[in-house]
Amino acid sequence: MPPNDRTQGATLIVSLLLVMLMLAVIMSVTAQVTLSTRRSSADQDAILRAQYAAESGAARVQARLRAASDLLAQAKFAQGTTIPEVEAQVAALCGLTSLPSPLALGATICDLSARPQGLKESGATNARVSVLLSTVSAAAFATVGLLGATDADRTRFWSDLFSGVEGVDLGGSQDGATFSARYGLKPVAVVKSSVNGYRLIFQVPDVTVTGQAGGATRQVKVRASQEGLSLLIERPSLAPNALFTNHHYLSGASEGKGEGIYFTSRTLFSGPVHTNQHLNIVGKPWFGGAVSSAGCPAGQITMGPNGPQCAVAGVPGAVLNGTFVAASAMPDPQAPSVCESGNTNCAAPTFNQGVNWSASYLQLPENGNDQQAAAQVGGVAIPGDVSELQLYQAPLTPGGQNVQRLTYTVPGATGPVTVQLAIDSNKNMLMWDGTAWVGAARQADGSFTPGVSSAFNGVLYVGGKVANLNAGPNSSNGGAAVASFSGLTLAAAGDINITSSLRYADPPCAGQHVRNGDGSVTPAACTNLNTRNILGIYSAQGNVNLMKDQLGNDPAIHAVLMAGTGAVQVDKYNQGTSQGTVNLIGGIIENYYGAFGTFDGDTAKTGYGRNFVFDPRTLQGYEPPFFPTARTWKLTLTEEAGTQPLTASLRLRGDTVNAGEGQ
């Protein structure tokens, strides 16, 4: 039966209601999906902002560490800072008013590892960071963008930096999100690291930064790049120098005339080079080690109340092709180049390990008091002049073990007196009593008598001059002056005249630096760096003279040579004919830049050329015993047990170790 109209209408109404219900369900579901999507997007945005905030906090820690590195690189003690002043600041690191006494080398002055707040103290003043406050100036803070650095500001910076496990809050905000972290370097200990040095050992911890935004939380943990570091406070040894000059002139008269010593294309130095004045450069000298210049102008090194000083502020720069060029005017201060017209005859040095044109003025010692004291206690102390001193390796009996021989001749009441000493590999001293080798007992006046063998600390001190230093019977046969196990320092108040080659039995280096056809340099091979023989020769108030007439052609000198007030120079350097090259393994430290020979262009005329191979062991801390130190104190950021400045900044690696999130 066909449907009637009423039934059809009811069916239509039901259908419409079903459609409307379905539409309502669809709209409801669509609304829920849209709302969920929007909520998900908002959550993701919050998480991202929290992540960015956490990373921003890590960057803030990184920036603080980088600023600290830049500040420490500028640390300078005031000229004339005394030992008691430095000792008081070192004691303050430990919360002490004075250092314990006696204090052995390597002794721990204080253990800071259990102090959770590190060096931090409450209040605007903090004696624990006084050494940093005094050495890093407000001007240095300005160079790293930290302006308005009052004493209180700088005290707070260093206190916060070394705030240990407790750390300080480094919170902040980033695009509506916040980040928070507590961070501080962890002081571990203060130790006496050398005769004239102290070390604050500290750790660089990892950092965990929490970022928060809109209920989302993210954590970023970044590892430290270096773990164990130290602040080294010391009067640095002068041994680690290929060349050090106080006056970069031949003499006072030459300085008055402005006749400087020039580095040329023949100049090949593999180790550190420093002058308290300006470098004079023509051609293309090669410097394989770090180079530094204090920039004291000619005529301005004067005697101050605490020793030699630069009377004016240093002027950073160098003399290139006869013209002074300020460091600020060099397009590239690390690779300066000045050429004459037509780009010929360029002064273009190579600095393989960089150059510092604004280095501190370093005072040379002017006496051998430290070496004299060491010799009187555990070495050989000779009160007056020595007419001859022989150093050589030889056995006491045929076929026996080699010993270090020391034979010296001094004036006596009835004529010259010769003393024969020997040191074995255990540092026991023996003497020849006229009939046999017996133990040498050191007396209070510095002489020796037969008895129980005294220990030898490696130092010989002569109160006058040494007229003839040679290798004894090994002078003419190429034998060794310094035994394979022997470490020696010869210090004299007056001149030291070297009359023969002085060779190591087991040298650390061999050969010489070679300039290749393409202009590059192949350094001498220094591969035997575990050898122990080493020699230091120091004239406190005279010259170290290489006696050309006795040395002959191409002498070999294996030693670190130093003249505190004079020069290391060749006697009669401008007379006769060329006698080859002085083959040095070691370094030279001198008040004036002593002459070795004369040249016409690249042709030697008289005297000697220079083949100087730096002994890299001195950079590793191995040096002649009780070798002189600079009178200027330094504060240096180093590896935990290192002596050289840290090449990389304090920093975090930048790699995220873990990250978490939450609502």
Position 466: which residue type? V
Contact predicate 469/551, CB 8 Å: no
Best CA proximity match to 408, nearest among 345, 462, 371, 329: 462
The pLDDT value recorded for residue 661 is 55
Helix (H) or strand (E) segment spanning residue 439: strand 437-442
Distance of CA 623 to the CA centre of its chain: 14
First-residue to last-residue Cα distance in the chain: 66
Say how far apart CA 368 and CA 536 lie, in whole Å.
Answer: 13
Burial class (CB within 10 angstroms; exposed 0-12, middle 13-18, buried 19+) of 290: buried
pTM above 0.85, yes or no: no
The pLDDT value recorded for residue 260 is 87
List all residues 6 or more positions away from 139 whose beta carbon is below 8 Å from its beta carbon. Answer: none
The pLDDT value recorded for residue 12 is 59
Contact predicate 482/403, CB 8 Å: no
Contact predicate 189/118, CB 8 Å: no
Convert the pLDDT of each residue in 596-625 to its tens digit.
998 876 688 999 998 899 999 998 889 999
The pLDDT value recorded for residue 343 is 65
The pLDDT value recorded for residue 656 is 61
Say how far apart CA 201 and CA 191 lie, in whole Å.
Answer: 8
Contact predicate 499/530, CB 8 Å: no
Contact predicate 558/531, CB 8 Å: no
What average pLDDT values come out for the chain (663 residues) when binned by 10 residues?
56 62 58 48 84 90 93 88 93 96 92 96 90 94 86 94 95 88 96 91 94 90 88 92 96 93 89 96 92 96 87 95 94 91 81 93 90 94 97 94 97 93 97 96 90 96 98 96 98 98 98 91 95 98 97 97 97 94 96 91 85 93 92 90 81 64 49
- DSSP states of 467-514 as a string? EEEE-GGGTTTT--SB-TT-EEEEEESS-EEE-S-B-BSS-S-BS--E
Q: Cα dist. 299→257, 310, 312 in Å? A: 10, 9, 10
Q: Cα dist. 245→252, 361, 500, 590 in Å? A: 13, 11, 25, 5
Could you list the beta-strand ranges (E) of 495-596: 496-498, 514-515, 521-522, 534-539, 544-547, 556-571, 578-592
Say how far apart CA 518 and CA 334 lie, in whole Å.
Answer: 21
The pLDDT value recorded for residue 214 is 85
The pLDDT value recorded for residue 34 is 43
List all residues 6 or more positions away from 256 whose beta carbon is below 8 Å from its beta carbon. Answer: 299
- Using DSSP, state whether 74 is helix, strand or coil: coil
